[in-house]
Amino acid sequence: RIDAQIEEIIASAAHVCLYRMSVNEQQWQRKNIEGSLFLIKRRSQPRFQMLVLNKLSTDNYVETVHGGLEMETNPPYLMYTHGNDEVGTGGTTVIGAGTSSFSALA
């Protein structure tokens, strides 16, 4: 099992790809992350997370959903910025999927 603390799957998308906006280069850079996306509610902290089951490697992508996360849906993309250092200060991460895939997240 991926996470024994998962209580509920709130929303999902069958297939997504992750990109990062490089602020210095003003270019989108594709990350080595692609697969199914799940917005999950957990029994313990952190209570809410986005999880991508990565089919390109054994490293899944997990992003904690918190007050500093700024999210915007712009079909077919879900864009967000956050306060952690995973993609670097001021970076924007974009999750791309089919046009209707994020209807439950909007």
Could you identify the residue written with the tokens 């697969």?
35
> Per-residue pLDDT for 99 more than 50?
no
The 10s digit of each residue's pLDDT in 5-63 is 999 999 988 888 888 777 777 777 888 989 999 999 999 999 999 999 999 999 999 98
Q: Are 5 and 44 in contact (CB under 8 A)?
A: yes
According to the model, what pLDDT value does residue 71 have? Answer: 78
In this prediction the pTM is 0.77
